[in-house]
Structure 1
Amino acid sequence: MIPFNHLGWIFKHFGPLIYPHTVRRSLCRFLKPVSNKASVLDLGSGTGIMSELAYACRDDLHFTAVDPAEGMLKFSAEYIKIHKGNAEALPFDASSFEAILIGEALHHFLDVDKSIREMVRVLKNEGRLFIYDFDSSTFMGNALCRVEKILGEPGNFFAPEVLKERLESHGFSVHISQFGYRYTVSAQLL
């Protein structure tokens, strides 16, 4: 397993560098229709990079971060409420969030379908979901998947169309944007 609990400082200072400007712009577009002062969940947040990128677009939103590694969470910005937890059993009431952000974390979830059910549970009606991850159908995405599995991680990487179908089966409408070996998902509960 990757020792995330001991890598917070590295992720805090170097993690944002791997988020291309195209992905950052995609995140800002995703957030435009979100209500003022809405609650947003950064799931598998690590140090809260997705919340920080989202805050740069919308500083009126209320950010909550969930990650199993306290060593990552302690590096989150002061405006982010932090919770130790995992995606398969979120510590929140139903309909708590208007949007969920997942940045390079879905492939670490142990049970992706159970995690998606939890996302559906905590999202409000017509809630929105943004995912940024690596495309396992590309050479680079496949290589990253193999390396993570060697390191003992679940390596739940998806080709965009496969993830699209999985999310649609849970009641989302889904739009995929491809960025080389990376992609974003912009989804909304129907």
Structure 2
Amino acid sequence: MMPFNNLGFVFKHFGSIIYSKPILDDLCLFLHGFTDKESVLDIGAGTGVMSEFAYRCNDKLRYVAVDPAEGMLKYAPPYLETYIGEAEALPFEDDSFDAVFMGESLHHFHDIDAAFLEVVRVLKNGGRLFIYDFDKGTFLGKSIYMMEKLFGEPANFYEPSVLKEILEGYGFTVKINKHKWRYTVSASL
């Protein structure tokens, strides 16, 4: 397993470089229409990189982050409420959030089914989900998958069409945007 608890400094200063402009445009589009009364949960937030980008798009929301590595969360921006926890057992009440983010975190979850059941549980009726990850069906995506496996990570990487089917099984309406070896998912319940 990768020692994420000790990698906060590295991710804080270098993690943002893999967020390309099309990914950020998708994120801003996803946030369009949200108001200052709504809250967003960033699951597997690490240092809060995705929330930082989202905050630039809409600074009126309540941003909440959860990650199992306290060493990552200590580098989160001050406007981000942080909680230690895992995607498979979120420390929040039912119907707590208007939206959920997963920025390069899905592939680290140990139990995908439990994680998605938790997402559905904490999302309000009509809630939305935004995922950014690497496409296992591409050369670079397969390379990252192999490297993650080498480090002992779960490496739950999906081709976009497969992830779309999985999410539809949980009741989401799903839109996928492909960006070469990466993709974003914008889904709603």
Superposition TM-score tier, normalisation by shorter sequence: over 0.9
Can you list the C-alpha shifts for 1:11-50, whole angstroms capped at 9, x where unaligned?
0011111100110010000001323331100000000011
* 1:31-42 aligned within 5 A: 31-42=31-42
Residue in 2 that maps onto 1:43: 43
Deviation >4 Å, runs of 4+: none
Provide the rounded CA distance (Å) in 1 between the counterparts of 2:19 and 2:29. 15
Residue in 2 that maps onto 1:159: 159
Equivalent pair of 2:36/2:62 in contact (CA under 8 Å):
no
Taking structure 1 as the reference length, what is the TM-score of the superposition?
Answer: 0.98
Number of residue pairs matched by the alignment: 189
Residue in 2 that maps onto 1:107: 107
Equivalent pair of 2:35/2:60 in contact (CA under 8 Å):
no
Residue in 2 that maps onto 1:173: 173
Provide the rounded CA distance (Å) in 2 between the counterparts of 1:15 and 1:28. 19
* 1:116-155 aligned within 5 A: 116-155=116-155
* 1:34-113 aligned within 5 A: 34-113=34-113
Percentage of matched positions with identical amino acids: 57
The alpha-carbon deviation at position 113 of structure 1 amounts to 1.1
Equivalent pair of 1:34/1:99 in contact (CA under 8 Å):
no
CA RMSD in angstroms comes to 0.6
Taking structure 2 as the reference length, what is the TM-score of the superposition?
Answer: 0.99
Equivalent pair of 1:109/1:154 in contact (CA under 8 Å):
yes
Gaps of 5+ in 2: none
Gaps of 5+ in 1: none
Deviates more, 1:10-19 or 1:29-38: 29-38
Q: Secondary structure at the match of 2:92?
A: coil
